[in-house]
Amino acid sequence: MQLTMKYNEIDWWFWAVIGATIGLGLIGMDWGYTVALVVSIANLGYFIVRDQSLVSFPVQVRAVWVAFMLVAMLPAMGWFYFLLFVGMILVVFFDRCGIARVFILMPWNKGVDLK
């Protein structure tokens, strides 16, 4: 994998802030998880407005991300934040998204380009 940081794109900044705040949560600052959820919802809202669609590929990925954030907030699911943090490292530093790679295989996304 090659280091790829797309700091000139707004979606990169959304993911970077989400990853950083999850990281803060992991080191004991629990408010980081709440901030990560709020920024994740803002990220989803931004792409819904930008794409003017509830089913565009970027919106699908962000909706699943928000769902994963909500799952991690359930009692006894705190360990899931670690997996989300690892996912953020892959997105922010290597431009690789596991959710996108799974969703690109779905039949309704046939013809969508994954960069």
Has residue 114 got a pLDDT over 90?
Answer: no
Per-residue pLDDT, averaged over 68-75, amounts to: 96
- Domains identified in the chain, total number: 1
Identify whether 4 is part of a domain.
Answer: no
The model's confidence at residue 31, banded by pLDDT at 50, 70 and 90, is very high
Task: Concatenate the DSSP letters of all residues of 38-99 into one string.
Answer: HHHHHHHHHHHHHHT-SSSHHHHHHHHHHHHHHHHTSTT-TTHHHHHHHHHHHHHHH---HH
Q: Annotate 94-115 with three-state secondary structure.
A: HCCCHHHHHHCCCHHHCCCCCC
User: What is the average pLDDT across 12-37?
Assistant: 96
Return the structure tokens found at 31: 């408010």
Q: Which domain holds residue 72?
A: 10-109
- Counting every residue written for the chain, the total comes to 115
**Residue 114, in any domain of the structure:** no
Q: What is the pLDDT at residue 2?
A: 83
Residue 115 has pLDDT above 70, yes or no: no
